[in-house]
Chain A
Amino acid sequence: MSNPEQTNPVIIETDRSTSLVRIQNLSKTFPVASGFFRKGNSFIHAVDDISFEVGEGEILGLIGESGCGKTTTGKLLVKLETPTSGQVFLKNTHVEVKLPKQKAGVAKATSAKTKAISLVTSDGFADIAHLRGRSLKLFRRNVQMIFQDPYESLNPRMTIYDICAEPLSVQSIGSLMEREARVAELMDLVGLTPPETFLFRYPHELSGGQRQRVAIARAMILNPSFIVADEPTSMLDVSIRTGVMNLMLELREKFKISYLYITHDLAVARYMCDRIAVMYLGKIVEMGQTEDIIQNPQHPYTRALISAVPIPDPSVRRQPMELKGGVTKPINPKPRCRFYERCPMATQRCATSDHPPLEDKGSGHSVACYEV
């Protein structure tokens, strides 16, 4: 369990006392397999030094184009990937770390260890990087993920019941009877009624929307406090999509769940999210309250992104903003603003200085740009 004697990690100054997840300087690089012998020279900086928080019961939207690192961020948060550096802190996480067997130099060993790992902060947060074995399994009950493709995220050889009960069975929760009851309850909750008609069917007998509801039920069955939703509606049809989005909002109201809602669709993000973070090539370039960002975007990339969204109203004429070039891959990026090559308002400073830090421009609206 927690060890109060250990040093607290640096915590971002925030007045938000209700935060559930804190991300600090999170980075993830992937080696690029360029040559046969030259492995290890090039890295894709998929996620590069990002920090944010998600409050309890809050929906944070992570926006960006494909390849900007938003999915990787999501996977880091549920520990499907291990960060290269940085921390993911989660509230109410139980960390059981086996301390190394101490022989003579007890003091020496502990001091070395405490420097390396600060397990739980005084306000009950713990870095999920150190979760192993049983504590990892307990963490899994707390954090779940919903995937983009409802056709690929359900095992075609399992029945709906097996799929939904899988988290219970791998966590050894409840008897078979209880599991069945719990699954039925969840099916009811996500709107697959009556549950009996769905329990023993295979995914291919269900439509896309129904499958995504099954995926939500599976994520909800362990009563998690935090769900990473990776484009949960992008593969769904318009008329189905609204139902799924509304369901997720209802669940949030009911169970006070927090979401990290990853999407490329700004309109969907506006509908779903309380706050939005815009990512570009592994960096968060702008973050703030949803309406703030949509109505008053500051970063040139956000502005371009918003101006490019087609409006389902022929009377509105957009003023599209021109960007040069296309999205590249962040392989060994130069130490300058990531957006420099495409930015219409880039200056000398953007080229020579490091990537600008994410600065608060008031009322929780932060922008990473020198020229704003």
Chain B
Amino acid sequence: MALLEVKDLSMHYWTRKGEVKAVDEVGFSLEKGESLGLVGESGCGKTSMALTLLKLLPENAKILKGHIFFYKEFQPQTANALLGEMVNLVPQKANGRASTLGRLTRIEGEKLLVQPARNGATKAPSPVSFSFSEIAQVGLDLVPLREERMQRVRWKGISMIFQAAMNSWNPVYRVGDQILEAMQTHLPKTSVQQSKKRIAELFQMVGLDPRMMERYPHEYSGGMKQRAVIAMALSCDPELIIADEPTTALDVIVQDKILREMRQIQKQLHMSMIYISHDIAVIAEVSEKIGVMYGGKLVELADTQTIFERPAHPYTKALMSSFPNLKGEKKKLEALPGEPPDLISPPTGCRFHPRCPYATEVCKEKDPVLEVRQPGQVAACWNPLH
């Protein structure tokens, strides 16, 4: 059952130098309880991707197109809350109807009325009606969602572990109070005492002394801050956690511990995770599926096992072979020539073609799209490795 579906998502931002095509036509989906790793070099748009999912964008950034569907099982009593929003209705499997994207305009008795998007047609399509029993899942489209409504999705639906976890604590408040603040915003009915009890439990879960709640961030070490950030990300029982370089600033032993704890908590709570890292080794440890990003595009997406055994995209292969290995034979690493693309004026056609050893004429002209290479593996390449 899908939890998150990203479709054709583009996000650009505007700087002094020009338009940065940070996320360009990216699409993937994530099942409930699944963990996905996004890997890529700095400036490939992976952090922009994470911020776009939460719509935490600066003023100069804009989502140009695409959808981010955040799915929930359909429950008639909560249907009212979705009134007026863009939704993707997924009917029951047995039903045979296609899923419908549109604005939820009315609820009539046991029926939902959806006004599909115009999609370039001159005439507005007629509203589609679904009965309650037909609907399996409702996907709320986060892209057109208003800011106030989006605030309710953040942390309760999707929470995040930041790249700079060290700095994501406000230095003037106690750590416990900062977690409490999030809980009071999203769970206003829970009393302060109950919330504090819950925070103490979470602290224990991530291996921190619950008494540390009353301390200020500067009294924490780097690893402790990171653990507390994980506790905070868990505090509102989100369905999805995005972890952006969760262990980059940490030493290898602490990194290893924290990664193991995160994986364990994810299994235990049956949560979905998106890990983002430049380190393919870290990603391989924690995720079931890996997406490789290059120059603002998703170039390959496959199961972890598949991607390591049979990478389809030349970049994926280059990325893995440029990592020195601790185990196995020591061999000379092949350096990838050139520099990562400038996202203001990316190369035409395939963005990897100036550095690609397999590039042909077509790569310079036409942009490849994601195609299925084998079950559980898609890649965007004109000359895939298999």
Contacts and interface: CB of A to CB of B under 8 A. Distances in A.
Interface of A: 65-66, 207-210, 237-243, 245-246, 264-268, 270-271, 291, 294, 304-316, 320, 323, 326-327
Given A305-B253, A320-B260, A311 B322 contact: no
B256 A320 contact: yes
A344 to B, nearest CB: 13
Interface in B209-227: 221, 223
B284 A310 contact: yes
Interface string B311-344: 0000000111011111100101111110110000
B173 interface: no
Contact of B251 (A307, A316, A327): A327
Contacts of A327: 251
Given A237-B278, A239-B41, A309 B322 contact: no
Interface string B284-309: 11000000000000000000110010
B280 interface: yes
A267 B335 contact: no
B285 to A, nearest CB: 5
B129 interface: no
Nearest to A308: B256
Given A239-B319, A246-B335, A313 B284 contact: yes
A305 B252 CA distance: 7
A314 B305 contact: yes
Contact of A66 (B251, B259, B323, B334): B251
A24 B327 CA distance: 33
B128 interface: no
Contact of A209 (B326, B333, B339): B339
Given A238-B41, A314-B305, A326 B335 contact: no
B325 A267 contact: yes
Q: Which of A241, A245, A268, A323 has the most CB of B within 10 A?
A: A241
The 8 lowest CB-CB distance pairs between A and B, nearest first, are: A308-B256, A243-B335, A271-B324, A312-B281, A237-B41, A239-B336, A65-B251, A310-B281
A238 B278 contact: yes
A266 B339 contact: no
Contacts of B280: 238, 312
Contacts of A316: 327
B355 to A, nearest CB: 8
B322 A241 contact: yes
Given A207-B339, A239-B340, A264 B324 contact: no
A320 B261 CA distance: 13
A343 B254 CA distance: 15
Contacts of B325: 267, 270, 311-313
Q: Which of B252, B255, B278, B318 has the most CB of A within 10 A?
A: B252
B285 A310 contact: yes
Interface residues of B, number: 42
B4 interface: no
A270 B326 CA distance: 7
B42 interface: yes
Nearest to A65: B251
B177 interface: no
Contacts of A306: 326
A152 to B, nearest CB: 16
Contacts of B324: 245, 267-268, 270-271
Contact of A266 (B285, B323, B326, B333): B326
B38 to A, nearest CB: 14
Given A246-B332, A271-B324, 19 more contacts: A208-B42, A210-B339, A237-B42, A237-B278, A238-B280, A239-B41, A239-B340, A241-B322, A242-B335, A243-B336, A266-B326, A267-B326, A270-B330, A309-B256, A309-B326, A312-B281, A313-B308, A314-B304, A314-B308
Interface string B186-214: 00000000000000000000000000000
A66 B333 CA distance: 26
Nearest to A291: B330
Q: Which of B41, B260, B282, B324 has the most CB of A within 10 A?
A: B324
A268 B319 CA distance: 15
Contacts of B255: 308, 310
A168 to B, nearest CB: 28
A238 B315 CA distance: 12
30 contacts: A238-B319, A239-B335, A239-B340, A241-B322, A242-B322, A242-B336, A243-B335, A243-B337, A245-B324, A245-B333, A246-B332, A267-B324, A270-B325, A271-B333, A304-B253, A305-B253, A309-B252, A309-B326, A310-B255, A310-B256, A311-B281, A311-B284, A311-B325, A312-B281, A312-B320, A313-B327, A314-B305, A320-B260, A323-B253, A326-B254
